Amino acid sequence: MSATTPDEIGDFRQEVRDFLKENLPDDMAHRGRNGFLAAREDSLGWQQILAKKGWSVPHWPEEHGGPGWSAMQRYVFDEECYLAGAPTINIGGVGLVAPVIQAFGTQEQKDRFLPPIRNGEVFWIQGFSEPSAGSDLASLRTTAVRQGDEYVINGQKIWTSHGLFGDWNFMLARTDPEAKKQAGISFFLIDVKTPGLTIRPIESLEGSHHLTEVFYDDVRVPVSNRVGEENKGWDYTKYLLFNERAFYGAEAPSLKRYLAKIKTYARRETVDGRPLIENCTFATRLAELELEVMAVDMTVSRVIAHGLTERNGGNAVGSILKVRGTELAQKLTDLLVETIGDYGAYAYPDTNEEPEMRDMPHAGPNYAPGLFAELIYRRAASIYGGANEVQRNIIAKTLFRF
Amino acid sequence: MFEEASPDLTDEQRMILDGANRFVTEICPFEKRREATKAGVTLDRTVWGQMAELGWFGLGLSEEAGGFGGTLEDVALIAETLGRGQVLEPFTMCAVFPARLLVGIGGQTDLIEKIVSGEKLVAVAHSEPDARGDVTRIAVTASPEGGGFRLDGLKSLVVGGDHADVLLVTARLPDGSLGLFRLARHSESVTTEGTRLADWTSGLDLRFTSAIAERIASGDAMAHALAAARDEAVTMLCAECVGAMDGTIQVTAPYISERRQFGVPLSSFQALQHRMADMAADLTIARSAVLRALSFLGAPSAERAAQVAGCKALVQRLGRWTTQQGIQLHGGYGITEEYQVGQYHKRLLVTDAMFGSRDVNLSRYTGHMLSRMMEAAQ
């Protein structure tokens, strides 16, 4: 880690706060603070605002337009953005596919794909899971058959987040059906407007449609859109999944935001004429969760400050953070919904999906919409990014060689 | 397996850790511990002297204060290693705690020097049955007598109380204020009740009956020094617990790999693999909680005390579960005295009782969280 002193971090934090105060639009922040997932125009719009300042890709190396921040600065930046209610950016693009292109892509791919990601011009969606390849991702069956300068792709993907926002799709397909599971997979970049590609929404428990299915019916993809070597896609995927777990797994900033929300609402909500927070059982539950969140956050700081790699036990720490972080997100969103009492039982429309509902009056306190949706969304946290049970397999195998 | 993987350590800390690990394997192996516990020896002054020779009792104290420099992180590293090694000698309670308390009140340089050199063993009699970690809750009385004071009443859970040369005792003065008193342990007016603690370490009741003592501090200065030393000691006890969690995992992993049932190693069962994964996850979180508490030891007293109490509440919860699972995964052998794993759990139970149990410390943290919220709301 570069020598960033606490004072410098304090100054940096202030600089970020000042920037957010001036540049984060109020309506965007309002939507960001409620529980619903960010809309496409907010994700990309915010990315564009950040790009003008040169802050849109904090984790990228400087040669690709990163700001050259220390790990601690990046963390502070993420945290301040969350706390201010900034929309979540398109992680599929900035955080997942871009590092793979940077590490394994051709110069032409870098020149073509990286600038639009940096500038918030395109939205990337992931095509990994399939109906019969979830936790066992390597058993995927979608095929890519080479025909001259093209691959012809057939099959189906599922659980693609924000599929309906997508411009480009990074995905895995089997290029060698004879090879052992992991060995015959390649990594492709596909324009979602390519003929034969269709995206269908899945209705989630909370009523939103951010999850989708993607169907490939003789989709023709130029060979130049394959990343790295043929049949080596699994290696690139492991790299991507490691990044995902290590940097996003614990989602520590969002855990802290939940704590802050619970505290704010529990002061306003009353039980028997007294603020909810004065209820001893409630306060103790909250305190116990806060202690664990702070310990998870400290773990993230250790990971960041000391540089985590696959070689120094990083893999297990990534999985440990993923498991404990997602469990906490679930406990916190449970408590968050309990905080609003009766209104925890109400259905609220997702105003990102139904913008016309944005300024309509609704039942309950102004912070009630979205909390239930957030709780349901977080039930997926222990499933996505590799189910927590798979993470436990990884931890046991990495640490104990069982 | 965890230390060598840990990128957190500086080169200096790695040296301290190597030294501490060598001490545990060469001077205090488990077989030697078994011999000591069979013979009823809770504290070996020869071992104590060897710890002093390694410079551990002066670590984290400035040179002006009579120490050898270094940080509290370094001290925590030793505490963790001793916890992992199940060392009986009470490093935290009879070296770290009294030395830091004495440095906090000022003066007493002769005694600090003798603690650091290992020449004198000092026990702090601070607890009483209903104090539960509130070091200001004191019923033992101190009445002026000649040039000194007369102590009367009962102190509980005095670690090292039977082996000490010198006692530091907290007591209440006639005007209601608190004082810290020093006396030689071997006074006829100090009697003991109890024999040892449940994990074979030293600790018992001391009853003072007109025991003559010297007052070495009083008032706010004493209360502040006592609270600070308590928080430092609690943090080190938590580090010991992290060591006990780590030790539990280190003895359980090979055990379930070697032990075969149904024709296969126990470690081939996923239920057991996942249990071990959760134990490892809790170890990581507990270690972070201790590092976080360490970072608050220089904070204003209310914040410091709350964060340390919170750390204890969390570490005790995680540690109790992890050490329980260690027993479970050993099957029947887990509850035998000859296996190491059960000793770790007993250590967790004993440290839980010290300075207030889990719930008491959680309430302390909750109270602080609420008052911070109220401040923020204004």
Q: Is the pLDDT of residue A111 over 90?
A: yes
Residue contact A393–B273, C-beta within 8 A: yes
pLDDT digits (tens, 9 = 90+) for A181-207: 889 999 999 999 999 999 999 999 988
Q: What percent of chain A has pLDDT over 70?
A: 94
pLDDT tier at A78, thresholds 50, 70, 90: confident
Task: Give all domains of chain B, ordered by start, each with its CATH number.
Answer: 2-120 (1.10.540.10), 123-218 (2.40.110.10), 223-377 (1.20.140.10)
Q: Is the pLDDT of residue B181 over 70?
A: yes
pLDDT at A38: 82
Could you report the predicted ipTM of this complex, rounded to two decimals?
0.94
Q: Which residue in the set B5, B286, B363 is minimally distant from A313, CB to CB?
A: B5
pLDDT at A136: 87
pLDDT at A226: 98
pLDDT tier at B143, thresholds 50, 70, 90: very high
Higher confidence at residue A220 or residue A75?
A: A220
Could you tell me if A68 and A74 are in contact, meaning their C-beta atoms sit under 8 angstroms apart? no
Residues of chain B in contact with residue A387, where contact means CB-CB under 8 angstroms, are none
Q: Is the pLDDT of residue B129 over 90?
A: yes
Q: How far apart are CA B170 and CA B223, in angstroms?
A: 10
pLDDT at A253: 79
> What DSSP line would sit under B309-350, residue for residue?
HHHHHHHHHHHHHHHHHHHHHHGGGGGSTTSHHHHHHHHHHH
pLDDT digits (tens, 9 = 90+) for A234-270: 999 988 877 677 666 678 878 988 999 999 999 999 9
Task: Give all domains of chain A, ordered by start, each with its CATH number.
Answer: 6-89 (no CATH), 124-234 (2.40.110.10), 249-400 (1.20.140.10)
| Average pLDDT for chain B | 95
Q: How far apart are CA A85 and CA A391, in angstroms?
A: 30
pLDDT at B1: 35
Residues of chain A in contact with residue B274, where contact means CB-CB under 8 angstroms, are 389, 392-393, 396
pLDDT at A312: 52
- Token match 């201790």: residue? B290
Q: What are phi and psi of A350, to 5 degrees?
A: -80, 105
* Pair of tokens at residue A268: 């306003």
Lowest mean pLDDT among A346-350, A398-402, B5-9, B267-271: B5-9
Residues of chain B in contact with residue A293, where contact means CB-CB under 8 angstroms, are none
pLDDT at B3: 46
Point out which residues pair with A152 in neighbouring strands. Answer: A145, A220
Residue contact B373–A267, C-beta within 8 A: yes
Lowest mean pLDDT among A57-66, A240-249, B170-179: A240-249
Q: Is the pLDDT of residue A311 over 60?
A: no
Q: How far apart are CA B242 and CA B285, in angstroms?
A: 10
- Token match 């080169």: residue? B11
Contact with chain A for residue B198, Cβ under 8 A: no
Could you tell me if A141 and A128 are in contact, meaning their C-beta atoms sit under 8 angstroms apart? no
DSSP H helices, chain B, are 2-5, 11-26, 30-38, 45-53, 72-85, 91, 97-105, 109-117, 219-258, 270-295, 301-330, 340-353, 358-377
Contact with chain A for residue B245, Cβ under 8 A: no
Residue contact A298–B289, C-beta within 8 A: yes
Contact with chain A for residue B278, Cβ under 8 A: yes
Lowest mean pLDDT among A158-162, A297-301, B270-274, B370-374: A297-301
- Token match 């039977």: residue? B162
Q: How far apart are CA A363 and CA A340, in angstroms?
A: 12
- Say if residue A193 is exposed, middle or buried (CB neighbours under 10 Å; 0-12, 13-18, 19+): exposed
Give the count of Cβ contacts less than 8 A between chain A and B: 111
pLDDT at A315: 62
Query: How far, CA to CA in Å, does A13 sit from each of A83, A114, A189, A305, A329?
Result: 12, 27, 36, 17, 25
Q: Which residue in the set A280, A292, A399 is minimally distant from B314, CB to CB?
A: A292
pLDDT digits (tens, 9 = 90+) for B200-258: 999 999 999 999 999 999 999 999 999 999 999 999 999 999 999 999 999 999 999 99
pLDDT tier at A305, thresholds 50, 70, 90: confident
Could you tell me if B339 and B333 are in contact, meaning their C-beta atoms sit under 8 angstroms apart? yes
For residues B305-323, average pLDDT: 98
Quick one: DSSP state of residue A38?
P
Closest of A173, A180, A164, A143 to residue A237, by C-alpha? A173
Instruction: Clarify whether A244 is annotated catalytic.
Output: yes
From the candidates A79, A80, A206, A244, give the one annotated as an active-site residue. Answer: A244
Higher confidence at residue B136 or residue A313?
A: B136
| Average pLDDT for chain A | 90
pLDDT digits (tens, 9 = 90+) for B94-108: 999 999 999 999 999
Contact with chain B for residue A279, Cβ under 8 A: no
Contact with chain B for residue A363, Cβ under 8 A: no
Q: How far apart are CA A279 and CA B33, in angstroms?
A: 48
pLDDT at A5: 60
- Say if residue B339 is exposed, middle or buried (CB neighbours under 10 Å; 0-12, 13-18, 19+): middle
- Say if residue A123 is exposed, middle or buried (CB neighbours under 10 Å; 0-12, 13-18, 19+): buried
* Pair of tokens at residue B3: 């230390």
Q: Is the pLDDT of residue B186 over 90?
A: no
Residue contact B277–A392, C-beta within 8 A: yes
Could you tell me if B157 and B353 are in contact, meaning their C-beta atoms sit under 8 angstroms apart? yes
Q: How far apart are CA B334 and CA A349, in angstroms?
A: 55
For residues A99-105, average pLDDT: 95
For residues A367-396, average pLDDT: 92
pLDDT at B118: 98
Q: Which residue in the set A277, A302, A306 is minimally distant from B370, CB to CB?
A: A277
B94 Cβ contact list (under 8 Å, min separation 6): B121, B122, B123, B124, B159, B160, B163, B164
pLDDT tier at A2, thresholds 50, 70, 90: very low
Tell me the shortest Cα–Cα distance from B291 to chain A, in angstroms. 8
**Amino acid found at B22:** R
pLDDT tier at A3, thresholds 50, 70, 90: very low
Tell me the shortest Cα–Cα distance from A180 to chain B, in angstroms. 24
B29 Cβ contact list (under 8 Å, min separation 6): none
Q: Is the pLDDT of residue B38 over 60?
A: yes
pLDDT tier at B187, thresholds 50, 70, 90: confident
Quick one: DSSP state of residue B185?
S
Q: Which residue in the set A263, A317, A391 is minimally distant from B284, CB to CB?
A: A317
Residues of chain A in contact with residue B377, where contact means CB-CB under 8 angstroms, are 267
For residues B351-360, average pLDDT: 96
Q: How far apart are CA A249 and CA A395, in angstroms?
A: 14
Contact with chain B for residue A260, Cβ under 8 A: no
Sign of CA dihedral A176, A93, A298, A62: positive
Q: Which residue in the set B7, B277, B363 is minimally distant from A306, CB to CB?
A: B7
Residue contact A307–B7, C-beta within 8 A: yes
